[in-house]
Amino acid sequence: MADVTLTPVVLANQHCQLGENPLWDEEAGALYWEDILAGHVWRHAVASGRTERVYAGETVGGFTQEADGALLLFREKDIVRLEHDGSVRGWRSFAEAGNTRFNDVTADPHGRVFAGTMGATETSGGVYRFDPDGAVRRVITGTGVSNGMAFTADRKHFFWTCSTRCQIWIYDYDEASGEIANGRVWYQCEKAEGTCDGLTIDREDNVWSARWDGFAVRQHAARDGRVLREIRFPVAKPSSVAFGGKDFATLFATSAGGDGRASLDGAVFAATVPGVRGRAKFRSRLTRG
């Protein structure tokens, strides 16, 4: 494993209790993220350096950006649109016995949304797929905490994180139907590394995985999962990662544990790894503006 000799810089520090879901808006040149426990969604415009809270309300476990630019917020018992003017418009209710809330969501190339949940037990959580035609299907079962997800560049494989068992799984993915199949463990995290949390994929299909309680984000080789690089952070709980900025050359990382004081816990960090570029996240297409 080769350590990356760089120090991540603080992009913004709102002392998030549980910062998650970094999402780069290429058109606006801005990064969105959420503080799950506080019920906040934040936006940082890179050009101006301005950070603003764009949502305060019920707990948000994850969000996507719709085709028209609105945010689709997956809350505890419903899913709503956060409009450009800051208003909230209901879309659909969603609640199931045995689950506490959504936890990490991602859109696929056709605008479907794969939405993970946290279970009340170590096996009652999973992943649901929301389709543009209104259908909802449970596609993964048997986890307590579903986490980071992403698709490979050829759109033939889907990565999913099971934080309960500290594993990253890979599935065969059919783009036309949205179906996933043949799931198998791709990487087993060791306890000393911290827990596998949010993830993203670079242009070479290498996986970047945040390590909760591990002070790090690790890059894994696309072919076999071996650790290629590790970026060390000054906080214990890096929680999720996403590429953004010019040519998607910046790796953004959220963190958790902020208590409102001077600590960097809960800050959002930015790092540039020489020669590494990411890709834009797909936009969801579940609602109409």
- What is the per-residue pLDDT across 184-199, written as a single tens digit (0 to 9) for each? 999 999 989 999 999 9
Mean pLDDT of the chain: 94
Question: Has residue 1 got a pLDDT over 70?
Answer: no
Marked catalytic residue, from 197, 247, 259, 265: 197
End-to-end CA distance of the chain: 47
Quick one: pLDDT at residue 259?
Answer: 65
Give a yes or no: residue 220 inside a domain. Answer: yes
Please give the tally of structural domains in the chain.
1
pLDDT exceeding 90 applies to what percent of the chain? 88
* Helix-strand-coil split of the chain, %, nearest 5: 0, 55, 40
The CATH number given to whatever domain includes residue 244 is 2.120.10.30
Q: Which residues contact residue 231 at a Cβ distance below 8 angstroms, ignoring those fewer than 6 apart?
A: 4, 6, 8, 216, 217, 218, 251, 253, 271, 273
pLDDT of the residue at 5 = 52
Is 184 a domain residue? yes
Q: Residue 96 — pLDDT band, cuts 50, 70, 90?
A: confident
Confirm whether residue 108 is marked as ligand binding.
Answer: no
DSSP 152-164: -TTS-EEEEEETT
DSSP string, 229-250: EEEE-SSS-EEEEEEESGGG-E
Domain that includes residue 107, residue range: 2-271
pLDDT at 258: 72
- Assess whether 197 carries a catalytic annotation: yes
131 assigned binding-site residue: no
pTM for this model (two decimals): 0.96
> Which residue from 268, 162, 155 is spatially nearest to 201, judged by alpha carbons?
155
pLDDT confidence bin for 95, thresholds 50/70/90: confident
Residue 289 lies in a domain: no
Which helix H or strand E contains 170, and what residues bound it?
A: strand 167-173
Check whether 175 is labelled as a binding-site residue.
no
- Domain-embedded: residue 74: yes
Q: Is the pLDDT of residue 220 over 80?
A: yes
Give 21-54 pLDDT, tens digit per residue: 999 999 999 999 999 999 999 999 999 999 999 9
21 is in an annotated binding site: no
Whether 146 is covered by a domain: the verdict is: yes
In a domain, 103, yes or no: yes
In a domain, 142, yes or no: yes
Q: Is 147 annotated as a binding residue?
A: yes
Residue 188 lies in a domain: yes
**Residue 35: CA count within 13 A, CB half-sphere:** 27
